[in-house]
């Protein structure tokens, strides 16, 4: 389930606290946040998270087909 309020709050907090992020556009901020989140996990876990995200994106937005390299 998409929770826009929580997602926006997380991105806003990230952009406010990480040096240099405020100057970036939202897409770059979101990408950087996703990468930093994935780097917190072991490789196998990060891979599983990306695979699950791909499945959920397809369910939530059937017209969007994300493709993560290596997933």
User: pLDDT tens digits for 2-38?
Assistant: 788 999 999 999 999 999 999 999 999 999 999 999 9
How many whole angstroms separate alpha carbon 21 and alpha carbon 30? 10
Q: Tell me the C-alpha distance between 45 and 67, whole Å.
A: 17
What are the tokens at 44? 């196998």
Question: pTM of the entire structure?
Answer: 0.81
Question: pLDDT at residue 67 above 80?
Answer: no
């Amino acid at each position: 389930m998409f929770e826009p309020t929580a997602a926006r709050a997380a991105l806003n907090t990230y952009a406010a606290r990480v040096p240099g992020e405020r100057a970036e556009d939202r897409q770059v901020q979101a990408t950087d946040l996703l990468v930093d989140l994935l780097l917190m996990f072991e490789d196998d876990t990060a891979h599983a998270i990306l695979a699950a995200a791909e499945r959920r994106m397809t369910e939530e937005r059937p017209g969007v087909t994300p493709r993560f390299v290596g997933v």
